[in-house]
Structure formats: structure tokens, C-alpha cells
Chain A
């Protein structure tokens, strides 16, 4: 079990939270559920309706969509659209190695968004980045 400070240090590596003050992340960090996924396990499955996202802290995952697949590692997030607007998942995420990740629920994320506008700016920046990636690969 990681200390709150250690969780904050990990969260700080995520671009979504890099501009959020540590003491705010400390509050958010305490709501995170720390989970481990052995290699080959699905973190999420396409079509499932869920309202959480994962912050990867260790290991590598493969995000598989109908049109393509990308590999993501520590410091990146998967499933963030679900905490903004819960809809069926558009991709399956599978652990390529042993993976450690934080599960962040919509209710906690909403509270963070409500009190810290810089997180919203981080979300927008991340979505724009994804959108540009999608356009450039299309």
C-alpha cells in the first residue's frame, strides 16, 4: 500500500494533474483505489458501461480499438472519457506486463473538477491531444 505522498508523486507524473497543487492531489489520492493486474488481464472491456478511469503507475497496457491499438505505460491514463460522461467503453485495455494502477471514480473526479479548475484545463489539454493524435493517424 503506497503512502499518500507516494501516490501524489505518481499522480504528478500524469499530464492531467501536472498543474494541480500537491496538497489538492493529496485529497484526491486518498480516494484512489490501488489495484494490481497480472499480465494478460483486462483492465476494461469494450462495451462495458463504467464510471471510472485508471491511472497507470507501473507496467504497460495495450489499448485495442476496432481500428488500431496503442501501448501505454506508467504516468498515462486510460478510460478517462468514462469519468466525464459514462458511455459504453470504446476500447479494451489489456495488461502487457504486470500492471499497477489507481482506479479513480467519477464521483471523486467530479469533486476534484468542481474545486480545481486547473484539472479541467488538464482534461481539455489531454482530450485535445488525443483528438489531434486521432486526426493525424486518420
Chain B
């Protein structure tokens, strides 16, 4: 059994024990409560649950601030067991029927608390990808526990002398559940056994933390989402039981229906979870997980509304549709919604995850029950029938769908923020003082003059005199920074400065060009620089100075570069333009319009990487092809870089860089989160392919998935060398690969064939290709 399976099994066992504990609680508690107080008083219990739920949420929050996750689980389960045991004692020995109301109220409280514990543990011991794949199966443990417990309750009620003693069985289940929580804490001490770090004392920092936009937005929207889930679940439950009571007036028939129907619900849920849910979640991702349930329910509720309108609420068809609604809802909840909710919390900072999940689930669910309680009391008072309940459920489900879409948008930005967060941000010299700048400019030390020139932009040029003097400086950085600062002015000095700067930025010497670019970054913003910067992105290799200048002028330069990219055909120039746009994206408010299609680029790069892989396999046993093999590996890495630049054009250079870095950490939570983010950003299929291509060294499995069905695995080493040299389809279009293939050719294809291959390249414009071809041909004479 793999470690992952062991983890899933341990969590599923906890969910199963939660299901058993819940069913052995609710069967006796509801039987005793309904016998004594009747169903008409259930809404009051719902209201009590709402109040208690908020209190439970606060207690849970307080426990989480002090205890480890395993400690919180031990406390919660322990308290549950004590309450049930006391309840049994008071009912059995003291004859206090009011205890049944407490136990009925405990039922809707322990389910969300139990799922918080299972869900948060899963969030710690599984990465986000495994969570999406397996959480539904973990939840299936709950359904299984519920089915087994339901059948066992029916069987044991008689032999145990009535429902009260089922509570003793519940105590037993609770003790075993407690044991699994202890075992989980011991097995995963790092993930579950660590106490939370003390709260920071700095009130400003704390305020900033609690109001951080993605966290707070996601928290609020998930609160709304779960409030709606819980309210709709309760309304559907009410509709079914209201109709069941109408169709089965005899209590024995009703009880028989209840047993069969509960079994049907849980069997369907189990089948859905095991056979369908995981695949659907992997295929449709987080958005599908969050929206599938409300979408399916809307269809059935519209059908139910139509049937109710035309056939009336008393018909069997209406009842069947109402049951189908609940069966579908429970199956989708267990199979997709719970997993999607749990996955959504992974977009929060780990330290705020547990707190948010507890507040949302432990307080949100009881509040929803309170809301439903009030709603049902209002319906009862106004004599509105079940069709009105169906209608209000439909309205709430539409709201749920909208909330799901909003939640997905927050999830997307939350994961993006989590993966791309920077440990620190660079700052401009915004606090510079004009007098300090002047004194540094006049100083003898070049580094101080450069620092002062870096501060000229924010504070403005001190005066023409100091700057003009610097035009004669021997240091190109000082001279060209002065030229850039003066270029924004008017008159003869400005024109001279402009000429000097323009000549320098076109200078073939990289040092001079960088000095000009550094000066442009430091000087005040001026449109004079824009066309020159657009030109230099195409003509020069990237450098720190160019990146700084592009950052400063991104808004003006980016559209020019996009236009140029649309017209450019040369591969090297295109790559430079793409890289420049990727760099500029961080300084742009939105993704520029008119970018090349990402899918097409991914397809091209995947094809190329697959061909490189197949060539590598064919050349594996060729000692003379070592350089060629290395070139093929580097070609795939180069493709990764180009794809990263394409991603950067859309998501920003920092973000793309951090995604690639996270993808490079094989087998970690960060990598799983980065794959998830890619799927959220560009879609599941494209994201999966990009994950394999962006860090081909990190996961052979992901690379194989990305390249599946591509390449030409049947070609021989001989054929690959010919293909790399001749490149008949211009698929490689790379002089370095051609040179390496020519170099390997005599050993791989034989000398005569190698000479024939080399002859067309003797006069190639690329010096390395021509030189290598000449060497191959020259060996005819020597060999």
C-alpha cells in the first residue's frame, strides 16, 4: 500500500466513524424527540442550533489558537462522547425527555465540526491535487458509515430494548473515532501535531493580515456558499419529509420508507463517489466541483416546479422528482461539493485555512439551519404550501450558482497570490531629498554619482548646471544618465543630449547600451525614449538595464512591441519580443490585446519536445553524439523558457517565474498548487500540458503526459541526424542543433553520407554551421 493510500484510508476511516457516530445519535434522538414533542417543534430546534453553532464556532476558534490540529480533534470528539454518554445517563437513569432536544441539536453541530476536522487534516496531509482526486472517497467513508449505522440501528433497536441504548453504541463509536484522531496525530506529528504560532502583537500587521484582499474575499464568498448549501440541503430535506408524510400517513409505512430511502441516498452517493466524482473533478476542475451541484439542482427544481404547477403537489410524479432532487444533491455534495469546498480553502494562507474553515463550516451551517427554521415558521404561519418551498429553493439555488462562480474567481486569484507571493518588494528612491541628490552629483565618487542619478527621476532634475557638467563625465553611466535627464528638456542642450543618448542606445557595445538604458530608467518620464526602447527589445539581448527601462515605459512600449510581434517572422527576434512583453506585463494593468495564441505555441513546443525526446532515445547509444544529445536536452529546456515567457506575457514575469520554480520542486505541495493554478489560469487540458513542459526535468510522468501521442518514435539515429541537418519541414530551424548534428554525422551515418549532408552548408551564413560542415568535408581528404 502506498503512503498516499494509507493517508487516504486513515482519513476515510475517520469520516466513516463520523458517519457511524452521527447515525447512532440521530436515530434514537429523533425517535425520542418526535415521540415526545412532534415534528412541528423541529424549527425551534433549528433556531437553537443557530445560536449554539455560533458559540461552538467561537470555542473552536479559541481551541485552534491554542492547540494543534490533533489536539482540537481530541477535544471535540472527547466533548461529543461525554455529551452523548451524559445524555444516555439522563434519559436512561433520570428519565429526562428534554435531553432528546439537546441531542437532536447536537446532530447538525457535529456534522460540520466533524467535516472541519476531517477536511483540515486532509488539507495538511494531502496536496491540492491529491485532495481533488481523493477527498470524495474520504467523504464516502461518511456515507458508508451512515449506511452501515442505519442498518445496524434498525437491527439493534429491538435487541437493545429500545432506541435509548443505541446511544451507548454511539459512545463506543465515538471512543474509536477518538482513537483514530490520536493515531493520526502521532502518525503525522509535523502536519497535525504542531501548535499554532503565537499571534503577532503588531496591531497594524494583524489588521493588514485579516483584511488581505484575496483571503478575505474568498473567506466571505465561501461563507455565503456554504450558508446556501446548508440552507438548500435543509429545504430539500423538509420538502421530501413533508411529501413523505403526505404519501405515507401510517407511521410504520413512513418508517419503512425512511429506512429504504436513506439507504438509497447513501448507496447512490457511494456509487457516484467511487465511480464518477473523482474523474469529474479531475476533468472539470475546481469550477466544475463548485458549480455541478447547483447546476444539476436547478434543472431538477425547474422540472419539479413545472410538475407541481401542472400536476399539483399531491401526485406521485412530484414526489418522485422531489426525492430525485435530494438524492442528486446528496450524491453531488458528497462527490464533488465537499471536495471543491475543501480545495477552495487551499487558496488561503495555511495559517488562516483552519480558522476560516471552522468559522465558515461550524457557524455557517447552524446559521443556515436557523434561517430555514424561521423560513419554515413563516411558511407555516402564512399557510404557504410545499410548492412555495420549492420555488424559494430554486431562487436560493440560482444564488448558490452565482456564488459558486464568484468563489471560483476568488479561488483563482487566491491560488495565484499564494504561488506568486514575493518575500519582499523593491522600492524606488522615493524619499530622496533634492539637496542630497545635488551633493552626491557633485561628489568625486562614481558610485555616489550613480546613486544620485538613480534618484533624479523621483525628485526631478536638480538644475541644468550640474547635469550639463556630467555630460562630460568619463563614466558612461554618469554621462548617459545626465544625457537622459536633459533629453526631456528643451533647447540646444536637450537636442544634444537626445542625440548622444540615441547613439548610445544603438551602440553595439552592451556596456554603453546598458548605460543609456539605465539613464533612461532614472530620468523623468518622457515620450522621446519610447520608440528607441521598442527598437532595442528586438535588436538586443535582454539585460537588467533593459528590463528596468521597459518596466518604466511598459504602458507606451508594450503596444508597439505587440504590433511588431504580429509582423515578425524571425524566431530569435520573436523570442526577444515575447520575453520583453513578459517583463513588461508586471507593469501593465491588463494583459495586452493581440498576443499570439497560447494554445498554438504550446502545441508547437510540445511537438518539438516530443521530437527531441525521440531523437535522444535513438541517439542514446552513439558516443560521438554526446554534444548533439546535450543540445537536444537544452532545446527542450529552451522551449520551456519560451513557454514561460508566453505565460509571463499573460500572467506577469514574477508570477510565471514563481509558477515555474514551484513546478520544479517535484513531489511537493508547491508543485501541486502550481499545477492547479495553471489549470485554473489556462484550462485543464492546456494547463496539464504546460505543467509538463514548463519544468521538464521535474516530473518524467507529467512530461510524458504532455507529450503523449506526439513525436516519431520509430526513426533511427541515422534518420534523426539527417532530419536535424536537412530540416526539410523547418521544424528545428536552429543553427546550433544543425552544427551538432553535422558534427555527429560521420560517426552516425558514415563518412560518405556525412559529406553529402554537409556539402550544402559549406557557405551557410551561420559561422558555426559553415565551419562544422567544412570540417566534415575536410575529413574526406584526411580520412
Q: Which residues of A contact B (CB under 8 A)?
A: 3-5, 8-9, 12, 21-23, 26, 30, 110-111, 114-115
Contacts and interface: CB of A to CB of B under 8 A. Distances in A.
B631 interface: yes
B317 interface: no
Contacts of A114: 510, 514, 543
B771 A3 contact: yes
Contacts of B768: 4-5, 26, 30
A9 B627 CA distance: 7
A21 B627 CA distance: 11
Given A26-B768, A115-B541, A5 B510 contact: no
A24 to B, nearest CB: 9
B333 interface: no
Sort chain B's interface into a size bin.
Answer: 20 to 34
B630 interface: yes
For the complex of A and B, 10 pairs with smallest distance between CB atoms: A23-B736, A4-B768, A21-B634, A5-B743, A115-B541, A3-B775, A22-B630, A111-B510, A114-B543, A5-B627
A114 B767 CA distance: 23
B637 A4 contact: no
Given A30-B767, A114-B510, A21 B543 contact: no
Given A4-B739, A4-B772, A9-B626, 11 more contacts: A3-B743, A3-B771, A4-B767, A5-B740, A5-B743, A5-B772, A21-B637, A21-B638, A114-B510, A115-B542, A115-B543
A26 B627 contact: no
Q: A-side binding surface: helix, strand, loop or mixed?
A: helix
B627 A8 contact: yes
A21 B734 CA distance: 14
B511 interface: yes
A111 B771 CA distance: 23
15 contacts: A3-B743, A3-B772, A3-B775, A5-B772, A8-B627, A9-B627, A21-B634, A21-B638, A22-B631, A23-B634, A30-B767, A110-B511, A111-B510, A114-B514, A115-B543
Contacts of B631: 22-23
Interface in B488-543: 510-511, 514, 541-543
Of A5, A8, A21, A114, chain B has the most CB atoms within 10 Å of the CB of A5
Contacts of B637: 21
B629 to A, nearest CB: 10
A23 B766 CA distance: 13
A22 B634 CA distance: 8
B724 to A, nearest CB: 14
A23 B637 CA distance: 12
Interface string B726-748: 00000000001001100100000
Given A23-B634, A30-B767, A5 B543 contact: no
Nearest to B630: A22
Contacts of A110: 511
Contacts of A22: 627, 630-631, 634, 736, 740
Contacts of A115: 541-543
A26 B738 CA distance: 13
Contacts of B740: 5, 22
B318 to A, nearest CB: 70
Nearest to B545: A114
Of A3, A23, A26, A114, chain B has the most CB atoms within 10 Å of the CB of A23
A22 to B, nearest CB: 6
Contacts of B630: 12, 22
